[in-house]
């Protein structure tokens, strides 16, 4: 009897210890997750803090007098005259009108508030509407990048304001009058890259990424799935297949820049394909993504229960029919998930693309697979390395766009898996 | 696949004791002479003629020199302790062992005079003639209709939708499932109960009108009520099909089969009419097994 009670006592004590251990173990898990989450929050807060201003632009609302005499233009339908005409003067005049304190000697200081591309905007507008000549028009122009930086980051020590005291004064006056306004930066989504931050956009990089991803998906998914099916279902188990398996696993761990070198050596130097084009980028990223897709597809095929295979074989389905009718549909969610994750990886890849020339400064939005292009992460890389401070917020904004795409793709992967998953 | 592996390992364990005397719990005179089967292993009207069959897993002999006839339209039960080779032997009859690389089959196996393991023989055609029902119900994760229609479809047995509908209905009726599922043919098969799933698998097997149905412990995953239904079904099917059933339940063997074959360590020890096996077995080992002294 005493023996039994003392034993119960021992058990109770060990229980206490066990519970303590369990609580400690759970606490470790919570701490680990908290660290990961806080890192993520800091990352997002930093990027959003820096990048949100990139989605805003500063504009000038001006009442422009399109005086033909002042612009040396008497026929707006004449190409040659348009080319020769002065479109800067009307802008300066219009802005001077808004700044009563500015004298004639301040012309160049006033001129520096206007974006260098504003005159191009005006010229294009007049080209389209020749009858505007000798009328007065209310139009919106981009402000100079320095004005943009001043309006957005006046108190921020990280940004050096290049405007003089006088110019700052003017800008403050203009803001009060409503001439200088900030609005949603549609230019950012409509333009390619530019030397001028206020005119730089990511459309070129987005289209470049899209074209590259199309090539990558079109090549890597069928090749990867076919390789996985062959290796898993048809290939004999021998030294050669073992060797191939080891190599595929190795390839998945090869640094991506090596694939870039390979692409440079093979696709560009040996096959003579053009530099900086989405096709070569897609080919290189295909090489990089293939191991991921093959490995995840093989895992998906392996996870198909053997009973389903046996059932199909038992009623006389051929090997092909077993694979196509039963194994493939059941493995598809896993294959798709793996492929989308591989594609997301490829979308965020920079290093190999630097080596095949997709790092070039390209203003035009690419029109096809053989047009020079750059991609989103490379655009981020380019802007992050630019000397102009205004590019920092553009880079952060581009990161936000890239992250949005990545989150979207991963969400799609999860949704597809939930949707296609079948139970048995 | 798992059951196959289990067979291999247990076989490996047993091969060590192969040449040593049997443990004392068994009668001392109960020895097995290789290739000798007591009782009536041969039949006049043989569907399968199996002579000197050997199955090897690498170095292990899982089946040792077995000769047996399986008669037309009979129900023959294979019984024996775990690892005795009865499932392995069953799987030879429609070459389900083919997918195991290290497995090789020797001897003469004939289905109506044609060699099963002839290299020119199409295994797909063989499996259309010799269907199989597995230990665990394994319906495809598709609709009930698709499960039954799959076999006829891949073999091109029905050209029109109405023909296919007829085959599906007939098969489900034969499997005693039609009344239960006729209103939900489009429902997914994995949502059915275990017993229903197994009867669906039987319907799927008979939908391609096989001559023989092999059943590998078809009731081991089912409760007694579902088991009773499947056994009833076997009795009905025996009118038109030859049925080979592997079972661990001796009562089941006694209830459903005409002949019973007792396997031991890869040997076929005794084959006789089921009544005789369970009332007056000729071999000591058979008697020990059915009276529950081991196994």
A203-420 adopts what CATH topology?
MetI-like fold (1.10.3720)
What residue in A sits closest to B189 (Cα-Cα)? A424
Query: How far apart are alpha carbons A306 and A314 in whole angstroms?
Result: 12
> Which residue of A236, A318, A423 is in closest CB contact with B190?
A423
Looking at residues A127-151, what average pLDDT do you find?
89
Domain boundaries, chain A: 2-52, 55-199, 203-420
Q: Residues of B with CB below 8 A from A314's CB?
A: 94, 96, 127, 131-134, 205
Q: What is the pLDDT of residues A172-219, one digit of tens each?
A: 999 988 889 988 988 899 989 988 888 899 999 999 999 999 999 999
Contact B141 A315 (CB under 8 A): no
Per-residue pLDDT at B46 exceeds 50 = yes
Q: What is the token pair recorded at B90?
A: 């069953």
Q: How close B248 gets to chain A, by Cα (Å)?
A: 20
CATH of the domain at B10: 3.40.50.300
Domain that holds residue B199: 2-19+40-290
CB B116 within 8 A of CB B126: yes
Decide: helix, strand or coil at residue B69.
strand
pLDDT for position B274: 93
Give A298-341 as a DSSP string: HHHHHTS-HHHHHHHHHTT--HHHIIIIIIHHHHHHHHHHHHHH
Angstrom distance (rounded) from CA B246 to CA B252: 10
| pLDDT tens profile A277-326 | 999 999 999 999 999 999 999 999 999 988 899 899 888 888 899 999 99
Whole-prediction pTM: 0.79
In a domain, B123, yes or no: yes
Q: Report whether pLDDT(B4) > 70.
A: no
Q: CA dihedral in degrees (A106, A112, A115, A117; nearest 10)?
A: 90
**For residue B232, how many other CB atoms are within 10 A of its CB?**
13
- The bridge status of strand A180-184 relative to strand B114-115 is unpaired
Cα dihedral sign, A404-A409-A414-A416: positive
Query: What separation, in Å, do the N-terminal and C-terminal C-alpha atoms of chain B show?
Result: 22
> How many interchain CB pairs under 8 A, A with B?
72
Residue B290 has pLDDT above 50, yes or no: yes
**3-class secondary-structure state, position A47:** helix
Give the sign of the dihedral formed by CA A134, CA A138, CA A142, CA A143. positive
Q: Does A147 touch chain B (CB under 8 A)?
A: no
The span from the CA of B13 to the CA of A92, in Å, is 98
Rg for chain A, CA atoms, rounded: 31
Burial grade of A181 (CB within 10 A; 0-12, 13-18, 19 or more): middle
The pLDDT of residue B295 = 57
pLDDT tens digits, residue range B263-279?
988 899 999 999 999 99
Q: CB-CB: which of B125, B127, B141 is closest to A314? A: B127
Return the closest-CA partner of residue B199 out of B170, B171, B224: B171
List, for residues B78-121, the tens digit of each pLDDT value. Answer: 999 988 889 999 999 989 888 787 888 989 999 988 898 888 88
**B140–A310 CB contact, under 8 Å:** no
Task: Please give the Cα distance from A71 to A58 (Å, whole number).
Answer: 26
* pLDDT, average across residues B228-237: 88
Chain B partners of A316 at a C-beta cutoff of 8 Å? 124-128, 151, 154-155, 208
* Interface contact A310, partner B, CB < 8 A: yes
Helix %, strand %, coil % of chain A (to 5): 70, 5, 25
Candidates A316, A317, A328, A330: best to mutate against B (most CBs of B within 10 A) is A316
- How far is Cα A423 from Cα A407, in angstroms, rounded to an integer? 27
For residue A423, name the pLDDT band (cuts at 50, 70, 90). Answer: low
Q: Do A313 and B204 touch (CB under 8 A)?
A: no
SS3 (DSSP) at B4: helix
Subunit contact B154:A326, Cβ cutoff 8 A: no
Tell me: pLDDT of A424 over 90.
no
Q: How far is CA A298 from the centre of its chain?
A: 30
Residue B11's pLDDT band (cuts 50, 70, 90): very low
- Residue B176: inside a domain: yes
Our count of domains for chain B comes to 1
Whole-angstrom Cα distance, residue B30 to residue B285?
6
Is residue B32 situated within a structural domain? no
Strands A180-184 and B259-264, how do they pair?
unpaired
Residue B34 included in any domain: no
B26 within some domain: no
Residue B25 located in a structural domain: no
Helix (H), strand (E) at residue A142: strand A136-142
Residue B258 has pLDDT above 60, yes or no: yes
Listed residue (A7, A163, A56) closest to A393, CA to CA:
A56
């Amino acid at each position: 009897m005493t023996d039994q009670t003392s034993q119960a006592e021992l058990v109770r004590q060990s229980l206490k210890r066990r519970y303590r251990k369990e609580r400690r173990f759970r606490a470790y898990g919570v701490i680990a997750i908290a660290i990961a989450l806080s890192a993520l929050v800091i990352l997002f807060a930093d990027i959003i803090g820096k990048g949100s201003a990139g989605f805003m632009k500063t504009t000038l609302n001006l009442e422009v007098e399109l005086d033909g005499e002042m612009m040396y233009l008497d026929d707006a339908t004449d190409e040659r005259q348009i080319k020769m005409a002065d479109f800067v003067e009307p802008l300066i005049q219009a802005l001077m009108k808004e700044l009563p304190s500015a004298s004639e000697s301040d012309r160049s200081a006033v001129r520096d508030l206007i974006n260098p591309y504003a005159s191009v905007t005006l010229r294009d507008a007049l080209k389209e509407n020749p009858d505007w000549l000798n009328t007065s028009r209310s139009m919106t122009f981009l402000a100079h990048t320095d004005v943009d930086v001043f309006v957005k980051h006046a108190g921020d020590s990280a940004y050096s304001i290049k405007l003089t005291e006088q110019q700052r004064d003017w800008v403050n006056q203009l803001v009060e009058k409503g001439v200088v306004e900030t609005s949603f930066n549609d230019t950012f989504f409509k333009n390619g890259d530019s030397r001028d931050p206020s005119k730089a956009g990511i459309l070129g990089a987005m289209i470049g990424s899209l074209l590259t991803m199309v090539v990558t998906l079109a090549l890597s998914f069928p090749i990867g799935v076919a390789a996985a099916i062959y290796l898993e279902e048809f290939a004999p188990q021998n030294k050669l297949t073992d060797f191939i398996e080891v190599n595929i696993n190795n390839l998945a761990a090869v640094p991506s820049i090596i694939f870039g070198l390979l692409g440079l050596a093979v696709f560009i130097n040996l096959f003579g394909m053009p530099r900086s084009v989405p096709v070569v980028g897609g080919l290189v990223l295909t090489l990089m993504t293939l191991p991921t897709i093959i490995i995840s597809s093989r895992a998906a095929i392996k996870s198909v229960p053997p009973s389903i295979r046996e059932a199909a074989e038992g009623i006389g389905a051929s090997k092909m029919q077993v694979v196509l009718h039963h194994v493939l549909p059941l493995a598809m969610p896993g294959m798709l998930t793996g492929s989308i994750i591989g594609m997301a990886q490829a979308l965020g890849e920079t290093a190999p693309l630097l080596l095949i020339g997709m790092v070039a400064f390209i203003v035009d939005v690419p029109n096809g697979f053989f047009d020079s292009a750059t991609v989103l992460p490379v655009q981020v890389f380019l802007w992050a390395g630019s000397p102009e401070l205004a590019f920092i917020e553009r880079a952060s904004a581009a990161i936000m766009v890239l992250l949005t795409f990545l989150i979207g793709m991963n969400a799609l992967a999860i949704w597809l898996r939930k949707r296609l998953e079948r139970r048995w | 696949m798992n059951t196959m592996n289990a067979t291999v390992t247990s076989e490996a364990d047993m091969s060590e004791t192969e040449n040593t005397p049997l443990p004392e719990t068994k009668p001392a005179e109960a020895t097995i002479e290789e290739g000798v089967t007591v009782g009536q292993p041969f039949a006049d009207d043989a569907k399968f003629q199996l002579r000197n069959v050997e199955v090897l897993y690498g170095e292990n002999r899982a089946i040792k020199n077995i000769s047996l006839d399986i008669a037309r339209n009979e129900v023959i039960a294979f019984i024996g302790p775990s690892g005795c080779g009865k499932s392995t032997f069953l799987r030879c009859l429609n070459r389900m062992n083919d997918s195991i690389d290290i497995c090789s089959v020797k001897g003469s196996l004939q289905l109506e005079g044609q060699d099963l393991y002839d290299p020119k023989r199409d295994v797909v055609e063989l499996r259309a003639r010799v269907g199989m029902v597995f230990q665990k119900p394994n319906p495809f994760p598709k609709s009930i209709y698709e499960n039954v229609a799959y076999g006829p479809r891949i073999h091109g047995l029905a050209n029109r939708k109405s023909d296919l509908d007829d085959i599906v209905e007939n098969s489900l009726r034969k499997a005693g499932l039609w009344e239960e599922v006729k209103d939900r043919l489009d429902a997914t098969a994995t949502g059915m109960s275990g017993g229903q799933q197994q009867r669906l698998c039987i319907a799927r097997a008979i939908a391609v009108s096989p001559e023989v149905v092999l059943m590998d412990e078809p009731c081991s995953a089912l409760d007694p009520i579902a088991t009773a239904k499947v056994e009833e079904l076997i009795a009905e099917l025996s009118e038109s099909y030859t049925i080979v059933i592997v079972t661990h339940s001796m009562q089941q063997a006694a209830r459903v089969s005409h002949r019973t074959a007792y396997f031991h360590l890869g040997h076929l020890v005794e084959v006789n009419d089921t009544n005789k096996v369970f009332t007056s077995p000729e071999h000591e080992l058979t008697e020990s097994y059915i009276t529950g002294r081991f196994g």
